[in-house]
Amino acid sequence: MGILLIQYSILSIIVVLSSIRISACVDEFTKRTKIGGAFIAGVLLAGITSLPELITSLSSTILLNNADLAVGDILGSNAFNIFILAVGNLVFVRFRLFNWTKRLNVKTNLMSTLIYGLILLNFYGMMTYRVGHIGLTSVIIFFLYYINIRLVTNGEDGEHLDPKVTCRLRTLVFRFTLSAIMIVIVSLSISVVTDKIAQITGIGSSFTGAMFLGVATSLPEMASLVSLVRLKNYDLAVGNIVGSNLFNFVIIALADIFYLSGSIFEFLDLSNRMLVFVGLLESILLTYMLLRKEVRNLLLYVLPSFMIIGIYFYYLLLSLNNG
């Protein structure tokens, strides 16, 4: 067990370092090109930082045939992502991150909130329809993500070029690609190590997915948040988290395609169901934080972040007691 934890820690560190490199590349990319920041944050960077979730969830489904681990990874990662954002908002409270975010992030987060609602309907047998072996919820997720890409693409103009940026675009693409490949390789290893931890400890796969796998695969978002805030790219920092959560739902839909035993939403255990409620509450609070006007009062500004942190820790407490 000790060796597995050491392996888990080393792999997690590699993911963090690769994510920091990607964040720096993306920040420079926004200054080097005319592509809009919302598109880069919500689609490009979100997709890259969600590569660990993509690899681990698909490998858990295809190689390990473990639907609970795959879904627990995504739901746990989404809940942890918003928790990260809440903590980051407190750590960097002097910057007032949410006073700098654009409205396009609100639309993206509303999509995620709606998907949580659809998953809840599955609990009560109201969304059990299938297209072949694929759940109707997965089909709707793909459609919502397509709509979000259209909104982000058409919702803003490109950024102005920064004449001070001298790094060649080819060099940026090379660094970006190399870091992405590293994340893919390490993510495969993390999913295998986490599955072994679940078997040795006897803890349920969904809870292990939410804790070890969900946290590890959320490290890119955490590293990117810190890196982008330090670069004073606040909207990109928030947009990456929001976009990653929506992209993570697409990963569940992809896993549903490869899970041939039925719709993946029919196999949600108690821990995963708890995560849906946790994620929904967090997402609603995040929507409020994104929608509200500029807040000057410190207490009012930080209150939603404390509520999100409280919800997440309450979930952990309940999971440990039920385990």
For residue 278, the model assigns a pLDDT of 95
Q: Cα(130)–Cα(315) distance, rounded to whole angstroms?
A: 31
Residue 112 binned pLDDT confidence (cut-offs 50, 70, 90): very high
The tokens 């409620």 sit on which residue? 277
> Could you tell me which residues come within 8 angstroms of residue 263 by beta carbon, excluding any fewer than 6 positions away?
122, 128, 130, 133, 134, 135, 137, 138, 256
Q: Which domain holds residue 128?
A: 2-322
How large is the angle between the packed helices 67-91 and 169-201, nearest 10 degrees? 120
Closest Cα to residue 192, out of 1, 18, 8? 8
Mean pLDDT, to the nearest integer, of 139-145? 94
First to last CA, the chain: 19
Task: Give the Cα separation of 254 and 51 in Å (integer).
Answer: 13
Q: What is the DSSP string of 90-144?
A: HHTGGG-GGGS--HHHHHHHHHHHHHHHHHHHHHTTSS--EETTEEHHHHHHHHH
pLDDT digits 0-9 by tens, 171-215: 777 877 888 788 778 877 876 787 677 677 665 555 554 566 666
Q: pLDDT over 90 for what percent of the chain? A: 26
Beta bridge partners of 131: 134
Q: What is the CATH number of the domain that holds 47?
A: 1.20.1420.30
State the pLDDT at residue 89.
94
Domain count, the chain: 1
**What tens digit of pLDDT does each residue of 33-87 get?**
655 555 665 677 778 777 777 877 887 788 777 777 778 878 888 998 999 999 9
Task: Fill in the amino acid letter for 217.
Answer: T
As a whole number, mean pLDDT of residues 269-287 equals 90
Q: Choose among 317, 198, 206, 208: nearest CA to 270.
A: 206
Contact 205/66 with Cβ under 8 angstroms? yes
Q: What digits encode the pLDDT tens for the residues 164-183?
A: 545 566 777 787 788 878 87
User: What is the CB neighbour count within 10 angstroms for residue 311?
Assistant: 19
